[in-house]
Structure 1
Amino acid sequence: MSSCGFYEMCQRYHGRAVTVQTKDGGVYRGYIREVDRRQVVIEPIGRPRGLGGFGYGGFGIRGYGFGGYGYGGYQRIALGAIAGIALLSLFFW
């Protein structure tokens, strides 16, 4: 699927729990919080509360996002790096 197709899918699943698999084998589970034409922002499921976005900075998991300062552990994933997206709720039946 093209990144345009993943953009439309992310728009449709905005706010819902998903699993995102990247082309390099990374797997991310969480809620879609933001989507633009270049990237999707995922809030991990079960992330610790109370830190308020203050943490150690870093470039992110596997180089696809910014962790730490100001984002509270959100993960940014480039749309071009996505290999597949699936709704998590479908797997809990």
Structure 2
Amino acid sequence: MTHYYDLCCKYRGQVVTIYEKCGKVHVGKIVNVDHQFVYIEPVSGGVAGYGWGLGWGWGFRPFFPIALAAIGGLALGASLFWI
């Protein structure tokens, strides 16, 4: 899990695709990371069934947490990083 923490910290501020072990896919900009969650701001109006109205955030920038333990892979740009 610390590997995903380090990877998410490295790509903070960038748009990524996160693949959960359960099959959910999230696309968004990493806005924050702690030792339990990565927080992403969705792009393109919604991610994996989550609309702009769902999530936590301030003002017009909603974001939602994804548990680091649930991550099965992370893609940045055209490169795919399966861990």
Report the structure number with the largest CA radius of gyration: 1
* TM-score (norm. length: structure 1): 0.67
Tell me the amino acid that sits aligned with residue 44 of structure 2: G
Structure 1 residue runs of 5 or longer lacking an equivalent are: 49-54, 58-66
**Cα deviation code 1:26-80 (max 9, x no counterpart):** 00001000000000001001238xxxxxx5x6xxxxxxxxx25758531210000
Compute the displacement of 1:86 (Å). Answer: 0.8
Where 1:73 maps in the other structure, the secondary structure is: strand
* TM-score (norm. length: structure 2): 0.74
Aligned length: 72
More strand per residue: 2
Q: What percentage of residue pairs aligned between the two structures are identical?
A: 38
User: For the aligned residues, what is the CA RMSD?
Assistant: 2.2
Q: Contact conserved, 2:16 with 2:27, CA < 8 A, in 1? A: yes
1:75 to 45, 56, 64: 64
More helix per residue: 1
